[in-house]
Structure 1
Amino acid sequence: MKRLFFISILFLALKGYCQKKYPKNYFTNPLDIPTVLSGTFGELRSNHFHSGVDIKTQRKEGLKIYAPADGYVSRIKVAQFGFGKALYITHPNGYTTVYAHLKKFAPKIEEYVKFIQYKKENYATGNLFFKEDKFPVNKGDIIGFTGDTGSSGAPHLHYEVRDSKTANIINPLFFGINPIDSKPPVLESIKAYTLTKNSRIDNKNKNFILPIKKIAEGKYSANRIFAAGSIGFAINTFDRLDLAPNKNGIYSLEMLVNGKRYFYHNVETFSFSETKFINLHIDYQHYKKYRKKYQKLFRVKPNKLSTYKEITNDGKIDIQNGLSYSVEIIAKDYAGNKSSVKIPITGKESNSLFQKQKDTTEYKIIAKKFHRFSKDGISIAFPKNTFYEDVYLDFKVENGIAKVHQPTIPLNKSFTLTFDVSKFSESEKQQLYIANLEYSKYPRYQNTRKKDSTFYTTSKTLGNYGLLKDSIKPTIKTLYFKDNQWISKFTTLKVKINDIGSGIKNWRATIDGEWVLMQYNHKKGILTYNFSDKKLVGSKHIFKIVVSDNVGNTNMLSTTFFKKQVN
C-alpha cells in the first residue's frame, strides 16, 4: 500500500510539473464560444496521431477566430486537402499556434492570399512564409473565420500549439483550454497476446479478446486467465466529454503488474517524425480487418515513440508457473478522470491445444535488404527498411490484378508497383491508370506515372492493385442559373463537377477570358467563384470552365450571364 501511495504521489507531482512548465494563462481561447471538442490531442487517426484539438463551431462556418496572444503571422498555406486554409502565428514566448480548415482569413491577409492565387492562377498557394513586420497581430485581433476546407468532415477549428524551435506539437490543453469533462474513459475490451511460440494463455498459443465487465463507474473486471511465458495486452478504449456525444481519445495509458508499473504512455507532446509509429502502437492487423483500434501496452522493437515512459521489460509480462499476478490497466483523460480494469492471472504450464499456423511463402522479406519480385508482367520493389521486421509475403497475379499480400502489415516506406503495358495501343494507354482495388466497388486512383511500355506507382499500403480504363469525360453543371440569365443579385457563381472514373485532376475557369479563382468543395463537388474578387466591366459576360480527370479526359462548359454592377 505504501508503494502504491508513493507511486500515486509521484504521478501527481509529475503531472503538476508538466502543467507548470507550460504557460497556463498566456493564451486566450481562439473562439468566443464555449469550448466543446470533437477531437482531442493525440487521438488515434489513420496513420497518425491527431496533432491538435478540434473545437466545435456549433455546426457553423464563419465564426471569428481571435489571436490568443501577441505575435505575427509566420506562415500561410492553402491546399485542396489536408489543413485546407491554414494560418500559423509565431509568439514571442517560444510557441507557434496553428489554425486549420478556415473559411477565409482576416481581410488584409485574405487580400494578400488572393493576390498570390491570381498571380499563380492556382487555388493552392504552397507554403507562404513571412517575417515579423508583414502581418503583426495583437492579442484579440481577428485573424480569420472558421470553415470546413481541406480534409475536414464538418465545420470546426483545428487548433495546435507547437514549439517554435523544434516544431514538436504540444497538447493545447496544457495552455489553458478547459473543456468540461467529468466522465471517465470507457473501456470496451481487452486483447491478450502470446508473444513467443512457447507462450500460452488458457492452454492456447494464440491471441484473443478478453471480455470485460463494468462493475462501477470507472471500474471494470475480467475473468481469471491461466498463462505461461511472455504475454502482453492491448485495450480498446475511448473518452467522452460532457457536452458532446462523440468518441474522443484518451490522455494516458498505464499498466501495473502486482503494483509495479510496466507500461506508461501519454500524449503530452510528440514530433511529426514519430507519428507514423501509431501503426506499431495499435494492433494494425486487427484494425485493418475489423476497424477497431487496440492500443498495445507493450512495445515492439521498431517502435520509437517518445510518448512511452518508465517501461519495464517493454511491457511484456513473463508468467512463471505457480505464481499469481494482478494486472491493472488504467486509462485517463486529461482532466484526470480514470477507468481501470484488473485481470487476475495464474501461472500454469501447459501443452498447447492450439498453435498459430506457421507463416511461410516463397517470397521472404528481409527487412534490411532490397527486394524485387516479378510475375506475369507486374513487379513489386521494396527498398531497404520498407518493412519494420522480416515477413513472408503473399504475391500473386490473377486476371491482371496484383495481389500484394493483405493491407494488414504496416509499412515504414513506400514500395513501387510496376505494370508492363506494352500490349496496349497508345490510345488505350492514354485512358488507363493504376487503381487500388481493395474495395472493388470503390476503386481509388493511384498517382500513375507513365513511360512508353510501363506504368508505375508508389504506395505505403499493401493490397490489390490493377489497371482500370477511364474513357468518360467529367460532368459540369451550372447551379442556380441558366445560360443567358440575369444574375445581378448573385454574390457567387457555382458549378457542380463530377468524374466517375479516375477522378477530378484540375480545372480552369475564366470570365471574359480572364482567369478566376474557384474554390473546390470536394466533399460536395462544387466549385465557387466570389464576385467580390474582381470588378466586371459591362453587363454581359462569358463564363468558361475546362475540367480534366486524372487520365486527361476533358470537358468544357461555356455560358453567358448578365450582371449589373453594384457600386
Structure 2
Amino acid sequence: MKVLLFLITLFYSVSFCAQKSIDNDYFRNPLNIPTVLSGTFGELRSNHFHSGIDIKTQGKEGLNIYAAADGFVSRIKVAQYGFGKALYVTHSNGFTTVYAHLSKYAPKIENYIKKIQYQKENYQTGNLFFKNDKFPVKKGEIIAYSGDTGSSGGPHLHYEVRDTKTEKIINPLLFGISAKDTKPPTFNSLKIYALNGNARINNQNKSFVIPLKNTAHQKHTVNSITASGAIGFGVNVFDRLNDANNKNGIYSLEMKVNGSLVYYHDVKTFSFAESKFINLHIDYKHYKTYKRKYQKTYKQKANRLSTYKNLVNDGKITIEPGLNYQVTITAKDFKGNNSSITIPIIGVKNNVLYTTPKDTTNYKIVAQNFQKFTKENVTVAFPKNTFYQNLYLDFDVDNGIATIHNPTVPLDKKFTLTFDVTKYSDIEKQQLYIANVSNPKYPNYQYTIKKENTFYTTSKTLGKYALLKDTSKPKIKTLYFKDNQWISKLNTLKVKISDTGSGIKNYRATIDGQWVLMQYNHKKGILTYNFSDKKLVGSKHIFKIVVSDNVGNTNSYSTTFFKKQVN
C-alpha cells in the first residue's frame, strides 16, 4: 500500500512539474522581432553554464522589451558589470522572468531608479526589491528597452525564467519561445581518456585527441581503437541556428555502449549553486591550455551537477580483453536535430608495464584539510575542500613572483594569498597592489586588502602572482566638445577615461557643483551624461570630473561649456 501511495504521489508530482514547465501559452516573447539567438541555455561559459537565452536585437539598442505575462516588478539592479541594468518580473504561475543588459527602463520605472541614483550619488543601485503593488505590469506592456550594459559582448537581451521560490533556472525554450533551427550540432573533435594507471589506449596510458572521419551528414566514425581498463570520452561540439553564424551550446549529450545507454545529460534546468561544476564537466586542463572545451561523457566523483541522468558507472567504460565494443555518442539541439560519432573498440590484454611517474613536491594537498604554506615573503592558505582531489602542489617564490601551481587545476573555493610588505615604505605600500601575472603582458589586478605589514587577496585561479607598483594617474579626455565651446545641439556629454596600471576604481562628476549621473561603458572606457536628467540654469556651466585608480592615484579635469536651454 505504501508503495502504491508513493507511486501515485510521484505520478502527480511529475505531471504537475511537466504541466508547469511546458505551458507554451502563458508567456509571450519579450521582443516583437523574429527570434534569433546568440546564446542558448546551459551552454558552456567561463566558470559557469549560461543561465538564460541571449536574443539578438538586430545589432540595435533601444528596442521595446515587453512583459512576458501579467505580474509585478519584484526586483531591479543596476550594476557596472554582470547583468548591467536588469529587471525581474514575478508572475502568479510561480515563475519569475528576468531581462538583462537593458539600456533603460520604462519611464515610470526609469524615473524612480534615477531618483535613487541621484540620492545615493551612485550609478550602481544594488538590489532593489518591490512588493506587488509598486510596479504591477500586464502581459505585453513595455517594461524596458534593449541595450548593451554590464558584461555584454554586444547589443542583445538576456532572458531567463526562474522558479520564484527556489530560484532554480529553467530553459526558456520550454515555454514556447522558438527560433528557426534545422541544423544539427557539429562535432569538432573527440578525445579519449585513460582513467587510471592500469588503463591502456592503443598501448598508451594517456589521453589524446582522435581524428574524426565523416560517413554521412553529421555522422562520424574513427579508426578502431585497442584498449583495456577504465576509459572515458570527451567531445568538442557546438550548434548553429538557421539565421545566425555564432556557435551555440547543445541541448543534450548521450553515450551508448553496444546499444545500451550509459551516459546522458540535458539542459532543461539547473541551479546557480551547481553552475561552478562546469569545471569538472569539461576537460578543464585542456581548456586552460588550448582554449577548447571538451564535454566529458563521464562524471567525476566530486561533480554534483543535477543535469546527469541514467549514468552507468558514472559513464566510465571498462574494456575487457577479447571483447568488442561499439560506442555511440549523440549530440542534440533543442529541436531534436542530432549528430553522432561511432567508435569501435577492441578489448586487448594489457602487457605494458610502463606507467607515468607520479608527481611529488614538498607541499602535499589533502583536499579535506585546511592547509597553509609559507615561502619567503608569501603565504598561501587553502580552506577545506578548496581542491576537488588530493595533489602535490607546486609552490615557489622567485624574483618576487609567487607561483601557486598552475591554472589548469579547477578549484571549488577561493584561497588566500598574503604578501609580507614590511620592507616597503609607506609611500611604496600605497602604490603597490597584488596582480595575477600568469600572462605577463596583461597583468590582472586582484582586489587587494591592505594591512600595516601585509597585503592579501583571495582567488579561485591558480597561477603566478606578484606585487606591482602603479604610480600613474588615470587619463581623462572629453569627447565631441572642447573647453569654452557651445554644445547646445548635444544631448549628451561624453568623457573617455583610462588607466594603464591597477585600473579604474571610481569616478565622480559634477556640473556647476552638483553631482551628475554618468553611465560608464567599461568596454569602451566612455562615461556618458544625459542632459535630460536635470534642467540647467543659465547658459555657462562648469563640468568637473575626478577619477581614481585602485591604489588611489587620482586625476581631475575641469572644463567650461555653454548650452542654451530648450523649454
Once the two structures are superposed, residues 324-380 of structure 1 have per-residue CA deviations (whole angstroms, 9 ceiling, x without a partner) of 111000100000000011100111012237633312111110000011111111010
Deviates more, 1:20-29 or 1:257-266: 20-29
CA distance in 2, matches of 1:53, 1:351: 50
Counterpart mapping for 1:553-564 below 5 A: 553-564=553-564
Q: What is the match of residue 437 of structure 2?
A: 437
Amino acid at match of 1:272: F
Shift of 1:223: 1.1
Cα distance 1:147–1:125, how it changes in 2: closer, same or farther (>3 A)?
same
Q: What is the match of residue 146 of structure 2?
A: 146
The root-mean-square deviation of aligned C-alpha atoms, in Å, is: 1.3
CA distance in 1, matches of 2:472, 2:357: 47
CA distance in 2, matches of 1:354, 1:340: 34
Shift of 1:438: 1.1
SS at match of 1:173: helix
Q: What is the match of residue 3 of structure 1?
A: none
Deviates more, 1:493-502 or 1:211-220: 211-220
Amino acid at match of 2:38: S
Amino acid at match of 2:294: Y
Cα distance 1:120–1:20, how it changes in 2: closer, same or farther (>3 A)?
closer
SS at match of 2:476: strand
Shift of 1:494: 0.6
- In 2, are the aligned partners of 1:203 and 1:353 still within 8 Å (CA)? no
Amino acid at match of 2:193: Y
- In 2, are the aligned partners of 1:19 and 1:174 still within 8 Å (CA)? no
Amino acid at match of 1:28: R
Amino acid at match of 1:38: S
CA distance in 2, matches of 1:544, 1:356: 64
TM-score normalized by structure 2? 0.96
Q: What is the match of residue 164 of structure 1?
A: 164
Once the two structures are superposed, residues 411-443 of structure 1 have per-residue CA deviations (whole angstroms, 9 ceiling, x without a partner) of 000000000111111001110000000111000
Counterpart mapping for 1:4-83 below 5 A: 18=18, 21-83=21-83
Shift of 1:156: 0.4
Q: What is the match of residue 383 of structure 2?
A: 383
* 1:226 is aligned to 2:239: no
- In 2, are the aligned partners of 1:418 and 1:454 still within 8 Å (CA)? yes
CA distance in 1, matches of 2:330, 2:241: 18
Q: What is the match of residue 247 of structure 1?
A: 247
SS at match of 1:355: coil
- In 1, are the aligned partners of 2:21 and 2:174 still within 8 Å (CA)? no
- In 1, are the aligned partners of 2:184 and 2:339 still within 8 Å (CA)? yes
CA distance in 1, matches of 2:363, 2:337: 48
Q: What is the match of residue 551 of structure 1?
A: 551
CA distance in 2, matches of 1:24, 1:50: 22
Q: What is the match of residue 408 of structure 2?
A: 408
Cα distance 1:434–1:20, how it changes in 2: closer, same or farther (>3 A)?
closer
CA distance in 1, matches of 2:348, 2:513: 81
Once the two structures are superposed, residues 62-83 of structure 1 have per-residue CA deviations (whole angstroms, 9 ceiling, x without a partner) of 1110111111100000000000
CA distance in 1, matches of 2:466, 2:477: 31
Cα distance 1:441–1:21, how it changes in 2: closer, same or farther (>3 A)?
closer
SS at match of 2:322: coil
- In 2, are the aligned partners of 1:192 and 1:210 still within 8 Å (CA)? yes
Q: What is the match of residue 290 of structure 2?
A: 290
* 1:103 is aligned to 2:103: yes
Counterpart mapping for 1:32-431 below 5 A: 32-352=32-352, 355-431=355-431
Shift of 1:551: 0.2
CA distance in 1, matches of 2:84, 2:309: 34
Shift of 1:218: 2.4
SS at match of 2:422: coil
- In 1, are the aligned partners of 2:372 and 2:379 still within 8 Å (CA)? yes
CA distance in 1, matches of 2:68, 2:231: 47
Counterpart mapping for 1:530-545 below 5 A: 530-545=530-545
CA distance in 1, matches of 2:287, 2:73: 39
CA distance in 1, matches of 2:237, 2:210: 14
Amino acid at match of 1:491: N
Shift of 1:55: 0.4
Once the two structures are superposed, residues 453-506 of structure 1 have per-residue CA deviations (whole angstroms, 9 ceiling, x without a partner) of 111000000000001110000000111111111111111101000000000000
CA distance in 2, matches of 1:316, 1:565: 72
Amino acid at match of 2:27: F
Shift of 1:318: 0.8
Q: What is the match of residue 481 of structure 1?
A: 481
Q: How many residues align?
A: 554
Q: What is the match of residue 518 of structure 2?
A: 518
Once the two structures are superposed, residues 276-317 of structure 1 have per-residue CA deviations (whole angstroms, 9 ceiling, x without a partner) of 000000000000000000001001000000000010011011
CA distance in 1, matches of 2:18, 2:299: 24
Amino acid at match of 2:324: S
Percent sequence identity is 70
- In 2, are the aligned partners of 1:204 and 1:354 still within 8 Å (CA)? no
Shift of 1:189: 1.0
- In 1, are the aligned partners of 2:478 and 2:495 still within 8 Å (CA)? yes
- In 2, are the aligned partners of 1:206 and 1:354 still within 8 Å (CA)? no
Amino acid at match of 2:494: K
CA distance in 2, matches of 1:312, 1:361: 36
Amino acid at match of 2:190: I
TM-score normalized by structure 1? 0.96
CA distance in 2, matches of 1:166, 1:216: 44
- In 1, are the aligned partners of 2:21 and 2:175 still within 8 Å (CA)? no
CA distance in 1, matches of 2:461, 2:531: 43
CA distance in 2, matches of 1:361, 1:102: 50
Give ranges in structure 1 of 5+ residues lacking alignment: 1-13
- In 2, are the aligned partners of 1:204 and 1:353 still within 8 Å (CA)? no
SS at match of 1:411: coil
CA distance in 2, matches of 1:280, 1:433: 31
- In 1, are the aligned partners of 2:228 and 2:347 still within 8 Å (CA)? yes
Cα distance 1:259–1:110, how it changes in 2: closer, same or farther (>3 A)?
same
CA distance in 2, matches of 1:543, 1:103: 24
